[in-house]
Amino acid sequence: MESGAVVLTGSNCSLSSLQLGDTRSATPQPLMSNLAVLGLQWGDEGKGKLIDLAAEHYDIVVRCQGGNNAGHTVRVGEEVYKLSLVPSGILRSEKTAVVGNGVVINPEALLHEIDSLRAAGVSIEKNLLISNRAHLVFPYHPMLERSSESTPGKRKIGTTSRGIGPCYEDKVARRGIRVAELLSTELFPQRFRSIAEEKFSVAEALGVAEQWDVEGALQLYQGYAERLRPFVADTGKFLNDSIRQGKRVLFEGAQATMLDIDFGTYPYLTSSNASAGGLCTGSGVSPRLLHEIVGVSKAYATRVGEGPFATELHGPGGDALRESGGEYGTVTGRPRRCGWFDIPLLRYAHSINHLSSLFVTKIDVLDYLETIPVCVGYRYRGSPLDWMPAISEEYAEVEPVYKEMPGWDRPTSGITDFDRLPRAAKDYIAFLEDSLDVEIGGVSTGPEREQTIIRQGSVLEAVVSA
């Protein structure tokens, strides 16, 4: 399919400064107020890049779930920012970045991130808000996670070891401690002492107890409380008041649909709702106010940690894709498992999130390939399977059916005009678009802000322009 393109020019990448190519449809879509950006695979799709790009046109950027298991790398010129708990919108000084109630916060990690951003000259003081309802990660969370991840005979998930799962466990079991309680000099000491003693006994019984001093940890967290206090607010109220005043909100997804606690490859996933529903519960904003949802997918697939991955490429082929894509985890540095684009998986993710548009990243990573397999269907025990099985053990047995697409003979890296992509690359995008029945509104051709194609007339163009 031939389509138009928008060329990102200047370093600030203002879409008002874009040159327009041929159009897919002459009239831009109506612009709605609020936008969500979500990962569709197993994370690391390049959400941070699109959020940073789109943030220019929104007043507020809010993170809704996950914690410092997320790692979003954003490149702005020579600078490389690695964000984990702070929303990627923080890089634009006039925006408000909100850490919503659905996020689990390790205060030490958050303060470290704040300090690093300050040191890099990023304005924080008036730009960051932290929900008083967000739950906190304490030292016993990673300690207990080590037990579940290292006990022989127990199912290992390959987590990021940040205590995210145990913290969400406590939240759901109604024994968590939230930011508001941390700030209460009256409530916090008593609550922390009783929970910490209980956790320590559990850790001892499991044989994973480490030497730690409850009173020392209490004082440490009281210190964190004073540093965080200026940023803490009822962020649900702030977001709803702001929307009422006509402000536009960008919802920042972390992790991705296949890591979603309900819809992902259970139990090999994270402990929050990383698909569209989690954005509402994690921010306090009604689904009626979530207007457009843009999904982000790589032009191939990756996964970190354990769990089934139907199109995984083992051996030298997988190594070559990893090297071409620089596929090493931002948080843990682990090599990412690599494989081919999976149409049934993307159809499933599209169905759950009801996407307005799809942004395909890292097309340049495929430049070296002569042919590119794309998974167009699954077979399970000899029969075709057209939907994602609920059981991971079944999904692990699925055999992908591939269509070989021709590669392209020249680099796509840095191309900003869709029409300038090699013919075979345009065909590749058109094939994905037709197979998924959702517009591919943009294609990323490199890590930089300006290495981006936004297709004219697309919903994506409408939501990332003023």
Distance in Å, CB of 133 to ligand GDP, minimum:
24
Task: Work out what residue 164 binds among ligand IMO, Mg ion, ligand GDP, none; the CB cut-off runs from 5 to 8 Å by kind.
Answer: ligand IMO
- CA 221 to each of CA 70, 114, 120, 214, 215: distance values in angstroms, whole numbers, following the listed order: 22, 16, 25, 11, 10
- CA 267 to each of CA 96, 159, 245: distance values in angstroms, whole numbers, following the listed order: 35, 11, 41
Task: Work out what residue 349 binds among ligand IMO, ligand GDP, Mg ion, none; the CB cut-off runs from 5 to 8 Å by kind.
Answer: none
Q: Where are the alpha helices (DSSP H) in 138-289?
A: 140-150, 164-172, 179-183, 187-206, 214-228, 235-244, 276-281
Which of 69, 447, 449, 463: binder of ligand GDP (CB under 6 A)? Answer: 447
**In terms of DSSP bridges, do strands 232-233 and 128-131 run parallel, antiparallel, or are they unpaired?**
parallel
Among the residue ranges 118-126, 222-230, 393-401, 442-450, the one whose residues contact ligand GDP (CB under 6 A): 442-450
159 is a contact residue toward ligand IMO (CB under 6 A): yes
How far is the C-alpha of 275 from the C-alpha of 64, rounded, in Å? Answer: 11
- CA 261 to each of CA 271, 278, 297: distance values in angstroms, whole numbers, following the listed order: 5, 10, 19
Q: Which of residues 10-49 bind ligand IMO (CB under 6 A)?
A: 39, 42-44
444 is a contact residue toward ligand GDP (CB under 6 A): yes
SS3 82: strand
Question: Is the omega angle on the peptide bond into residue 267 within 30 degrees of 0, that is, cis?
Answer: yes
Among the residue ranges 7-15, 42-50, 84-92, 360-368, the one whose residues contact Mg ion (CB under 5 A): 42-50
160 is a contact residue toward ligand IMO (CB under 6 A): yes
113 is a contact residue toward ligand GDP (CB under 6 A): no
Which of 4, 71, 107, 176: binder of Mg ion (CB under 5 A)? Answer: 71
Q: What's the sign of the alpha-carbon dihedral 457, 458, 461, 462?
A: positive
91 is a contact residue toward ligand IMO (CB under 6 A): no
Which of 3, 69, 311, 458: binder of ligand IMO (CB under 6 A)? Answer: 69
SS3 8: coil
Which of 28, 158, 335, 377: binder of ligand IMO (CB under 6 A)? Answer: 158
How far is the C-alpha of 230 from the C-alpha of 125, rounded, in Å? Answer: 8
The encoded tokens of residue 50 equal 């699109």
71 is a contact residue toward ligand IMO (CB under 6 A): yes
How far is the C-alpha of 66 from the C-alpha of 318, rounded, in Å? Answer: 28
Q: Which of residues 340-379 bind ligand IMO (CB under 6 A)?
A: none
Distance in Å, CB of 48 to ligand GDP, minimum:
3
73 is a contact residue toward ligand GDP (CB under 6 A): yes
44 is a contact residue toward Mg ion (CB under 5 A): yes
Contact (CB, 8 A) for 38 and 47: yes
Q: Cite the active site residues.
A: 44, 72
162 is a contact residue toward ligand IMO (CB under 6 A): yes
Dihedrals phi, psi of 98, to nearest 5 degrees: -120, 130
User: Which x/- pattern, by CB under 6 A, does the window 359-378 give for ligand GDP?
Assistant: --xx-xx-------------
- CA 450 to each of CA 37, 294, 380: distance values in angstroms, whole numbers, following the listed order: 18, 19, 42
Residue 98: beta bridge partners? 62, 129
How far is the C-alpha of 340 from the C-alpha of 300, rounded, in Å? Answer: 5
297 is a contact residue toward ligand IMO (CB under 6 A): no
Distance in Å, CB of 203 to ligand GDP, minimum:
31
The encoded tokens of residue 21 equal 């190519």
Nearer to ligand IMO, 29 or 159 (CB): 159
Which of 163, 278, 344, 446: binder of ligand GDP (CB under 6 A)? Answer: 446
Using CB under 6 A as the binding criterion, the count of chain residues that bind ligand IMO stands at: 24
How far is the C-alpha of 96 from the C-alpha of 127, rounded, in Å? Answer: 4
Task: Work out what residue 445 binds among ligand GDP, ligand IMO, Mg ion, none; the CB cut-off runs from 5 to 8 Å by kind.
Answer: ligand GDP
**For binding to ligand IMO (CB under 6 A), which residues are involved?**
39, 42-44, 69-72, 157-160, 162, 164-165, 254-256, 259, 269-271, 304-305
**For binding to ligand GDP (CB under 6 A), which residues are involved?**
39, 43-49, 71-73, 75, 330, 361-362, 364-365, 444-447
**For binding to Mg ion (CB under 5 A), which residues are involved?**
44, 71, 330
